[in-house]
């Protein structure tokens, strides 16, 4: 792999994603990884990320010069660029002129910048600057605050840039990264969706052998794609369990029962647990309590389903020893498990299954980002309705009804939500939008007038957001015409709702969901 050394910037994951967009496999490793360990992984190249520190700060993370003489191609970005300059005998100084944000770059030839516009915008974020490149390096770009904004030594396969090529604000950044990978490191584009599927299928077969495996389907993209991969690998050794907790959106159950099964042929057991969940949620209004109850009930139902399967297999049947989880790469990195297997957070997808469930985990998406998961899903023949669906929380509509969850309120919210989703789809906004929760303020009523009569109904809140990863989000500037259609249709077609409101809060301070 190409290893992205994380110097503590929030950009390391993004860099890894960009490298993969150039169809080269990459992983993030912490900067504390010893050089010997790094080299033992036989990296195709190393990318040094940006970081918050000044190379002069006491706690500045070190860069081992050995890495730079090992013969492995190295690309330094921002802090990584400066650390590289210093380790190789260049000069890094406090120039006093900080550069934050969009800056014009003057570039002049070299492998990384040749044929790009001589002057083009890049995203900068630095206080210190390289004032003198190390011996042997060609300086190929500069900016107002960075006399040396890019350097390269193609023979030694070392290069770097002061700016952030990985962010969208550097419009030629991806091209520069691609040139490093192709022209400096000599790497071919071989990380393709087909190769991912092939590799994972082989790994799953090896892990499961002739064993039996179970997968909890949530209706979400990740569990569906994970199931489809395992199905492709071991066929009928897999059984999927879908718990209908009654907190689903309109059409979701049939999407799983019909579309997913039709596309993959997985063996599916649906457990209808609507009443059980409603009973458990009766009278509960506190959001955390709701989440806990839904999580707990989910586990109980799932455990029972697993026991039933086991019983069905009989004493002489093969026991169910494996559990599929749709864990994604960002979860792995965030829980510190980027490099080893020691500190991996294992149970965080299916509502946190307890440790006494004796399963070995199968996590075929552990190395993938969300967009890659979607592409793998399409490659496996899953329909767009499943692959392109917006994220939907495990606790479902239960945390989108503010107040007690009842069957009637669920009906109301489901109806309003279906209209909103229909209108967003027909307006072609599904890709642009990250997700648009529809929230029912079930304990609030307001006075309205409709067809000569007074109404006293509930408001719904539209919460359309744009986001890259749900960690931060911005409210989406939706076209007024779409809002108008939604408002008219919801108030006409859902009798209990007489007001449609729009949430214009970013995250932070608001979370995406209301509970």
Number of chain positions touching ligand XMP (CB under 6 A): 11
Query: Within 455-474, which residues bind ligand XMP (CB under 6 A)?
Result: 470
Nearer to ligand XMP, 25 or 514 (CB): 514
Is there binding between residue 489 and ligand XMP (CB under 6 A)? no
Instruction: Name the minimum Å distance from CB 469 to ligand XMP.
Output: 9
Is there binding between residue 238 and ligand XMP (CB under 6 A)? no
Determine whether 166 is an active site residue: yes
Is there binding between residue 511 and ligand XMP (CB under 6 A)? yes
Of these residues, 164, 172, 245, 458, which one is catalytic? 164
Q: How many residues are listed for the chain in this entry?
A: 515
Q: Is 336 annotated as a binding residue?
A: no
Of these residues, 21, 27, 31, 78, which one is catalytic? 78
Nearer to ligand XMP, 364 or 437 (CB): 437
Instruction: Name the minimum Å distance from CB 424 to ligand XMP.
Output: 15
Q: Which residues contact 85 (CB under 8 A, 6 or more apart)?
A: 76, 91, 92, 130, 132, 133, 134, 148, 151, 160
Q: Which residues contact 199 (CB under 8 A, 6 or more apart)?
A: none
Give, in order, the Cα–Cα distances in Å from 495 to each of 190, 322, 441, 488. 55, 47, 15, 12
Determine whether 164 is an active site residue: yes
Query: Within 289-318, which residues bind ligand XMP (CB under 6 A)?
Result: 291
Asked whether 168 and 122 are in contact (CB, 8 A), the reply is no
**Which residue, among 380, 370, 13, 431, has the nearest Cα to 221 in the 3D structure?**
370
Nearer to ligand XMP, 446 or 511 (CB): 511
Query: Within 13-42, which residues bind ligand XMP (CB under 6 A)?
Result: none
Asked whether 161 and 176 are in contact (CB, 8 A), the reply is yes
| Cα–Cα dist 38/288, whole Å | 42
- The partner residues of 125 in beta bridges, in order of sequence, read 100
- Angle at the Cα of 328 (from 432 to 463), degrees rounded to 5? 35
Instruction: Name the minimum Å distance from CB 226 to ligand XMP.
Output: 14
Q: Is 222 annotated as a binding residue?
A: yes
**Which residue, among 243, 240, 264, has the nearest Cα to 252 in the 3D structure?**
243
Q: Which of 52, 383, 391, 403 binds ligand XMP (CB under 6 A)?
A: 391
Q: How is the chain split among helix, strand and coil, in percent rounded to 5?
A: 35, 25, 40
Nearer to ligand XMP, 195 or 511 (CB): 511
Instruction: Name the minimum Å distance from CB 352 to ligand XMP.
Output: 10
Interface segment toward ligand XMP; rule CB under 6 A; list 124-132, 154-162, 387-395, 407-415: 387-395
Is there binding between residue 507 and ligand XMP (CB under 6 A)? yes
Binding site residues for ATP, as ranges? 218-224
**Residues making contact with ligand XMP (CB under 6 A):** 291, 391, 393-395, 435, 470, 507, 511-513
């Amino acid at each position: 792999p190409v290893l992205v050394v994380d110097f503590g910037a929030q950009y390391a994951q993004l860099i890894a994603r960009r490298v993969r967009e150039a169809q080269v496999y990459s992983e993030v490793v912490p900067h504390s990884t010893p050089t010997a360990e790094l080299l033992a992984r036989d990296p195709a190249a190393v990318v040094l990320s940006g970081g918050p520190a000044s190379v002069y700060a006491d706690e500045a993370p070190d860069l081992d010069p050995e890495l730079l003489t090992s013969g492995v191609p190295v690309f330094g970005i921002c802090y990584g660029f400066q650390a590289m300059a210093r380790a190789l005998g260049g000069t890094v100084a406090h120039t006093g002129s900080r550069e934050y944000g969009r800056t014009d770059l003057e570039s002049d030839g070299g492998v990384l910048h040749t044929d790009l516009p001589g002057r083009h915008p890049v995203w900068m974020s630095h206080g210190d600057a390289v004032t003198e490149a190390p011996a042997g390096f060609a300086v190929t770009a500069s900016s107002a605050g960075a006399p040396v904004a890019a350097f390269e030594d193609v023979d030694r396969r070392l290069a770097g840039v002061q700016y952030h090529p990985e962010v969208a604000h550097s419009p030629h950044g991806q091209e520069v990264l691609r040139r490093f990978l192709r022209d400096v490191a000599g790497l071919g584009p071989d990380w393709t969706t087909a190769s991912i599927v092939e590799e994972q299928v082989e790994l799953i077969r090896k892990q499961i052998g002739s064993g039996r495996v179970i997968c909890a389907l949530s209706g979400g993209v990740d569990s569906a794609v994970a199931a489809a991969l395992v199905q492709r690998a071991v066929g009928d050794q897999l059984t999927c369990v879908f718990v209908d907790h009654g907190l689903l959106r309109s059409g979701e159950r049939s999407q799983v029962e019909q579309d997913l099964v039709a596309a993959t042929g997985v063996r599916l057991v649906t457990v209808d647990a609507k009443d059980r969940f409603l009973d458990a949620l009766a009278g509960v209004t506190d959001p955390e309590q709701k989440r806990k109850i839904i999580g707990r009930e989910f586990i109980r139902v799932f455990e029972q389903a697993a026991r039933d399967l086991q019983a069905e297999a009989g004493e002489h049947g093969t026991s169910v020893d494996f559990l599929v989880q749709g864990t994604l790469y960002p979860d792995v990195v965030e829980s510190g498990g980027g490099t080893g297997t020691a500190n991996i957070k294992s149970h965080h997808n299916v509502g946190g299954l307890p440790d006494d469930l004796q399963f070995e985990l199968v996590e075929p998406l552990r190395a993938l980002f969300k967009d890659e998961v979607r592409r793998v899903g399409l490659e496996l023949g899953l329909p767009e309705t499943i692959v392109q669906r917006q994220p939907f929380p495990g606790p479902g509509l239960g945390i989108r009804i503010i107040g007690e969850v009842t069957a009637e309120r669920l009906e109301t919210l489901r109806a309003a939500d279906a209209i909103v989703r229909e209108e967003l789809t027909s307006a072609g906004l599904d890709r642009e939008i990250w997700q648009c929760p529809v929230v029912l303020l079930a304990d609030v009523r307001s006075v309205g007038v409709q067809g000569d009569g007074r109404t006293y109904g509930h408001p719904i809140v539209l919460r359309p957001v744009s986001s890259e990863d749900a960690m931060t989000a911005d409210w989406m500037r939706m076209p007024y015409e779409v809002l108008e259609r939604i408002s008219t249709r919801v108030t006409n077609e859902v009798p209990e709702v007489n007001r449609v409101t729009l949430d214009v809060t970013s995250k932070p301070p608001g979370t995406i969901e209301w509970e």
